[in-house]
Each structure stands twice: as structure tokens, then as C-alpha cells.
């Protein structure tokens, strides 16, 4: 399961990078409010913040790839990579879609398709709630199950 979860994380990190590239290219060519949309400070800061988050995520995923190559990838690290990366890729796709306006919501737009795809990856390989439960065990917690209602 660890390798499956890592492969999902790799795909999600790539999707986050793709969403950022799509948004950056789009805003640099979109005229709005009397100028290029990408020249607006808020847009620049938002995309810069996303770039930082994607880079940190990619660095962790790269570390997990090195660990799996060395036979040292733990279930906990794979679960962290899968849950964090898929959550991040969805947030990045959502934020980048905003830059596209109404066009971004079309299923045939590149960012629209990416958004739909990133919603479902949070369920593949075990839901992210299950992944965080695995991580919580590494912190010494014992999962509690509710009794019958």
C-alpha cells in the first residue's frame, strides 16, 4: 500500500505543478481592468504562495521516492505524502481555477478537468481521513471507534 500511496502523491504533486503553470500562463495573457491580469499584485502574491507550497510538497515527495528506492519508506510517511499532496493539489487547482473566471468551470477547459480529477484522488488508495489516522498512530494515539447508534 505504501508504494500505491506514494504513486498517488507523485501524480498529485505533478497535477499541482500543472495547475500553477496553467494559471500563470493564463493570467499573463489575460487583459482585465485596463491591464494584464498577471500584473496585479494580489494575483502575483497568490501564485507565489502556491509555488512555495507546491515546492515544499514536491521536496517531501522526492524524499519519499528516495526512501522507497532504498527500501525505507514507512507506511506513515507514505500516508502523509498521499494525504498532504492530494489535499494540496485540490486546493491549488481550486485557487488556480479562480484566475480563469467562468471559463475555468467548463469541464473541457484544462483547469476544469484538472479540478475534477483532483477531487477524486483524495479518495484513491484509502481516503485521506484514513491516511491521517495512520499518521496519528505514529504519534502514539489509538483510534477510537464509535459504538452502535
Active site residues: 4
Print burial letters for 84-110: b (CB count within 10 Å at least 16), e (below 16). bbbbbbbebbebbbebbeeebeeeebb
**Do residues 28 and 38 make contact, with C-beta atoms less than 8 angstroms apart?**
yes
The C-alpha angle 111, 90, 105, rounded to 5 degrees, equals 35
Among 81, 90, 72, 73, residue whose Cα is nearest residue 16: 90
Amino acid at each position: 500500500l505504501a508504494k500505491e500511496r506514494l504513486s498517488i502523491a507523485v501524480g498529485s504533486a505533478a497535477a499541482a505543478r500543472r495547475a500553477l503553470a496553467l494559471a500563470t500562463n493564463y493570467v499573463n495573457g489575460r487583459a482585465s481592468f485596463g491591464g494584464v491580469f498577471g500584473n496585479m499584485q494580489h494575483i502575483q502574491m497568490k501564485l507565489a504562495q502556491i509555488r512555495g507550497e507546491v515546492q515544499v510538497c514536491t521536496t517531501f515527495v522526492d524524499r519519499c521516492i528516495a526512501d522507497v528506492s532504498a527500501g525505507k519508506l514507512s507506511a506513515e510517511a507514505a500516508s502523509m505524502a498521499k494525504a498532504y499532496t492530494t489535499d494540496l493539489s485540490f486546493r491549488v487547482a481550486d485557487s488556480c481555477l479562480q484566475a480563469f473566471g467562468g471559463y475555468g468551470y467548463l469541464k473541457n477547459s484544462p483547469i476544469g478537468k484538472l479540478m475534477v480529477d483532483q477531487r477524486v484522488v483524495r479518495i484513491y488508495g484509502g481516503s485521506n481521513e484514513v491516511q491521517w489516522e495512520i499518521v496519528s498512530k505514529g504519534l502514539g494515539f489509538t483510534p477510537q471507534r464509535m459504538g452502535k447508534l
